[in-house]
Amino acid sequence: MIRAQEVRLVGEKGEQLGIMPLSQAQETARKHYLDLVEVAPATNPPVCRLLDYGKYKYQQAKKEQEIRKSQKISLLREVRLRPKIGDHDFEAKARTARKLLAEGDKVKVTVLFRGREITHPELGFKLLQRMTEALNENASVDRQPVMEGKRMNIILIPNTKAKAKEEVKESQDAKA
């Protein structure tokens, strides 16, 4: 698929083999049982490299897999409550939120109001404060309670992220 008449050839270990006609570069690749791959088509003459293309693709896939493995995607998970929730149900929801925080996810605690319950938003606020107190050793508040339509919610982040956020603020304050 290489269209140039002459190419600059680079060896398997990165050594320069010089500028040569395309046919001679292909013959060199065949002699070494390697593939001729065009690396920089925009240069004059184009740069081609001798390499085992299958092995190269395999190594690239392994590198991408390692990068993906080391990344942790932080999700925003939601725990929903109602203003008239029972104590045992509240504890079960708190355990669920604690488990999600331990996994490193952010947790959005939402209080859903139905019908005339909306006339008492202070009940939802108290419930969110109670949840924050129940989870204070595992999490800290990322966003204060906010009323959005018939829902009141708060976002909690795991303490490890909260500590990192505080350190960044402290370093910024020290610079200022």
Same domain, 53 and 87: no
pLDDT digits (tens, 9 = 90+) for 104-142: 889 999 999 999 999 999 999 999 999 999 998 888 888
For 144, which DSSP code?
E
Q: Looking at the predicted structure, is the pLDDT value of residue 13 above 90? A: no
Are 65 and 115 part of one and the same domain?
A: no
Q: Is 153 in the same domain as 87?
A: yes
Q: Kindly tell me if the per-residue pLDDT of 2 is higher than 90.
A: no
Do 51 and 81 form a contact (C-beta atoms < 8 A)?
no
CB atoms within 10 A of CB 146: 11
The domain that holds 27 is classified in CATH as: 3.10.20.80
Q: How far apart are CA 99 and CA 158, in angstroms?
A: 10
Domain-located, residue 86 = yes
Rg from Cα positions in the chain: 30
Residues 161 and 82 in one domain: yes
Question: What is the extent of the structural domain holding 148?
Answer: 76-175
Instruction: Give the end of a domain, one of 15, 45, 69.
Output: 69
Q: Are residues 47 and 127 in the same domain?
A: no
Indicate whether 79 pLDDT > 90: yes
Quote the percentage of the chain above a pLDDT of 90. Answer: 48
- 8 A C-beta contact, residue 76 and residue 105: yes
Read off the pLDDT of residues 19-57 as tens digits, 9 standing for 90 and up.
999 899 999 999 989 998 888 888 888 999 998 989 989
Higher per-residue confidence, 154 vs 69: 154
Residue 109, H or E segment = strand 106-112
Pick the residue with more confidence: 162 or 150? 150
Beta carbons of 99 and 131 less than 8 angstroms apart: no
pLDDT score of 62: 94
The Cα 155–Cα 140 span in angstroms is: 9
Tell me how far apart the alpha carbons of residues 161 and 146 are, in angstroms, rounded to a whole number: 21
Convert the pLDDT of each residue in 136-160 to its tens digit.
888 888 889 989 999 999 999 998 7
In terms of DSSP bridges, do strands 6-10 and 47-51 run parallel, antiparallel, or are they unpaired? parallel
Identify whether residues 81 and 130 lie together within a single domain: yes
1 lies in a domain?
A: no
